[in-house]
Structure 1
Amino acid sequence: MLNLLKANNEYKLKRYKKGKNTAIISYILIIGPLIALSMNSGEDKTEFGSFHVRQGLGLTITFVTLGLMLSNFSIPMATISMWIFISLLSFYGLYTASRGESCPLPLLGSIFQKFFKTI
């Protein structure tokens, strides 16, 4: 019985380690989610990796959308606020991924999970 539990824990640890690289890469804005999406396909797909790919992809789309909207205006305070907001969310996601946790990003994470549920 003890050997079975040990083998099961080793299997979970191996799956977690495989998904951890994908999870961390997914928070590199713009190109990261695309790389992580290709890493998390086929036999290598893990639920942990998929969770963070959805979060990273949503964060990148939010970054691009806000950037395009704010580029029409010359308001430095709004641009700086957007950068701070995206940076904080990205660092939070990176922190949770490196700790092996599947915590959604504050404010937007649950929306990203629902919107990208097929990934």
Structure 2
Amino acid sequence: MENTTINEGKTTAIISYFWLIGLVIAFIMNANKKNSFASFHIRQMVGLTLLSILNGWIVGKFFGTMAAGIVGFGLFVLWIIGFIGAIQGEEKKIPLLGDQFQEWFRNM
């Protein structure tokens, strides 16, 4: 990826990692002039946000708060990996599900 593409999309990519409000802001910022670097990180964060919501509803309800806390901690670690990748200007996929997030949300 070109250095100019990364520099232009870096701010949007970083903003996308500030949970739901940051994700919405990043999506709006990237809507007019699509940046492939920003889009990559937006897709990663959309996947993490959906997993986080499902963790609270499904895991928390059926397996208890302890299980939801453990899964939540794992999601937090994945969030840190993605966030550091955005800061460093890398398209670092989130382990385990990064490829699927890119495929499932490719139209974003």
**Mapped partners of 1:13, 1:102: distance in 2:** 12
Higher mean C-alpha deviation, range 34-43 or range 51-60: 34-43
Q: How many residues align?
A: 107
| 1:89 aligned residue (78, 83, 106) | 78
Greater Rg, structure 1 or structure 2?
1
1:23 maps onto 2:24 in alignment: no
Structure 2 unpaired stretches of 5+:
none
**Mapped partners of 1:23, 1:74: distance in 2:** 33
Displacement of 1:98: 0.5
Preserved contact between residue 55 and residue 72 of structure 2 (Cα < 8 Å):
no
**Mapped partners of 1:67, 1:57: distance in 2:** 16
Residue identity matched to 1:96: G
Structure 1 unpaired stretches of 5+:
1-11
- Cα deviation code 1:40-73 (max 9, x no counterpart): 1112x21000000000111101100111113324
Higher mean C-alpha deviation, range 16-25 or range 104-113: 16-25
TM-score scaled by structure 1?
A: 0.81
Residue identity matched to 1:20: K
Identity of aligned residues (%): 37
Residue in structure 2 matched with residue 54 of structure 1 by the alignment: 43
1:39 maps onto 2:23 in alignment: no
CA RMSD after TM alignment: 1.6
TM-score scaled by structure 2?
A: 0.89
**Which protein is richer in helix relative to its size?**
2
